[in-house]
Amino acid sequence: MIKLARTLVSTVSALALVAPALAQSALPQATDSYFMSAQESLAALIAQQPNTGKAKNVILFVGDGMSIPTITAARIFEGQERGVDGESNSLSFEKLLPYVALSKTYTHDSQVADSAPTATAMTTGVKSVNGTIGVNQSVVLEDCSTQAKATVTSIFEQAEAAGLATGVVSTARITHATPAATYAHSAGRDWENDTNLPEGTTECADIASQLVNWPAGDGFEVILGGGRANFMTAETADPEYPEKTGSRKDGHDLVAEWQAKYNDGAYVWNKEQFDAVDIATTKHLFGLFEGSHMQYEADRAKDAGGEPSLAEMTVKSIEMLSQNENGFVLMVEGGRIDHAHHAGNAARALMDTVALSEAVQAAYDAVNPEETLIVVTADHSHVFSIAGYPVRGNPILGIGGTADDGKAYTTLGYMNGPGAAVYEGEAPVAPEGAEADAPLTIRADPAGVDTTDLDYLQQALVPLGSESHAGDDVAIFAQGPWAHLFHGVVEQNVIYHVMAKAIGLDGAAK
């Protein structure tokens, strides 16, 4: 009787599993392409299994200012550039990194963050004050006397202490807020060289000197980015732009000082030198490819000295760091997404986002994904939007529709920024509540220009010389050991704690 009952239960259970499939096959939409694609996605989701092994490597990709609308627009842009359906297209990290969460980017003192404390949150596990790097909430902005007691330790400093290799890559100045959060401690994010320090300051070091004199382990194995001027003296001519010199007035040639530290190191400033680096004999690599920020991806090919792509820098870094059998921690920043948004220039922002996507794909192909935690996120958002009712397949940089003023508007736009430059004239009909002779700002008609041009600035509502950050959540994408911990809505500083847990560094939750 018991055996019969078990048989009946088993049969009923099997039928219960089959029933949904039988029911769905009878649905009129069962053969619809969207329906079938969703079923495939469901099967892939069901098949996901968390990886709870110890990570050997961690790679943190930061798209500076890469808001969710930026990801969506870049996805469409990249697909349209390849001649495929942009709307259903996916960037590399959307396909490769299955675990997704939202990150709350507010800081200790602000609803809307800047890059310094948000990068600090991701690299040290604490929220801090806008405008500060590598310090906690007790710091007073640009008050050097409060810096020492507020200093916190980054995951890169922990990694060096544990015998791992470390690297930092950015298309911005390597002393800029995001990359600086891997090594620097500063009550002022703008203290990038000695001339930026408050007058009379002696107890706080500038960010460039902190990088070269970084006491963690044997220092970064890889440093690649822009910002040469902050390491060169004011008497030294730039190798790429002889009419320009360095920014330092303290007499310290930090490039020479770095070279003196490493007899196994190579310093490079152009792509030819970068390509010639022999990783078998080079154990430390220092590359500074511009006096300030590196070129936008759209302009990189025209650079006089030549610059490696973000993907090329990422792969070279992984090749070098992988020589350490203990593993590595690497940050890769697409820093100029942010700068293009500040300029109100969507085309360059999207192209740099695509460049970041290519770097993620290159990294995934270069590592063992089963032993590498890869995290892709942003430090903060921007006031960038996708609006109107453009038809499927409409150029993402094109016209999105016609407004009530009878003029066209673009699909992409900004809440504020340089694109708000307008003409002024007398109002034919005064707005309600305004004086009859009050001037009316007259919006230009974008239908009369090529909005897909690389240099076009999308229109904005509020005039600002530089478009601003926004306070909305940003996305986190992850794959690899303990990546499943990224789900739901999390505080931005949790990113550090998941990375530390995955790679087994002190301070991680057990």
- Quote the CA–CA distance of 394 and 376 in Å, as a whole number: 28
d(CA 472, CA 474): 7
Instruction: Report the b/e string of 327-338 with b at 16+ CB within 10 A.
Output: bbbbbbbbbbbb
* φ, ψ for residue 386, nearest 5 deg: -115, 115
- β-pairing verdict for 408-410 and 399-402: antiparallel
Give tens-digit pLDDT for 229-270: 999 999 999 999 999 999 999 999 999 999 999 999 999 999
Task: Please indicate whether residue 115 is annotated as part of the active site.
Answer: yes
CATH of domain 57-383+470-503: 3.40.720.10
Per-residue tens of pLDDT for the chain, all 510 residues: 333 344 334 433 443 444 455 455 689 999 999 999 999 999 999 999 999 999 999 999 999 999 999 999 999 999 999 999 999 999 999 999 999 999 999 999 999 999 999 999 999 999 999 999 999 999 999 999 999 999 999 999 999 999 999 999 999 999 999 999 999 999 999 999 999 999 988 899 999 999 999 999 999 999 999 999 999 999 999 999 999 999 999 999 999 999 999 999 999 999 999 999 999 999 999 999 999 999 999 999 999 999 999 999 999 999 999 999 999 999 999 999 999 999 999 999 999 999 999 999 999 999 999 999 999 999 999 999 999 999 999 999 999 999 999 999 999 999 999 999 654 444 444 445 545 454 455 788 999 899 999 999 999 999 999 999 999 999 999 999 999 999 999 999 999 999 999 999 966 544
Among residues 92, 103, 115, 381, the one annotated as catalytic is 115
3-state secondary structure 377-395: ECCCEECEEECCCCCCCCC
Contact (Cβ atoms closer than 8 angstroms) between residue 204 and residue 187: yes
Question: Which of 379, 493, 468 has the alpha carbon at shortest distance from 61?
Answer: 379
Domains of the chain, residue spans? 57-383+470-503, 401-463
Exposure b/e, 452-462, CB count within 10 A at least 16 = b: eeeebbbbbee
Residue 66 Cα distances to 37, 106, 414, angstroms: 28, 15, 14
Angle value at C-alpha 132, between 128 and 135, nearest 5 degrees: 55
Give the containing element (helix H, strand E) for 475.
strand 474-479
pLDDT (tens digit per residue) in 423-433: 444 444 444 55
State the maximum Cα–Cα separation within the chain, in Å, rounded to a whole number: 96
Contact 106, 380 (CB under 8 A): no
Asked if 335 and 304 touch (Cβ cutoff 8 Å), the reply is no
Rounded to whole angstroms, the Cα distance separating 51 from 165 reads 23
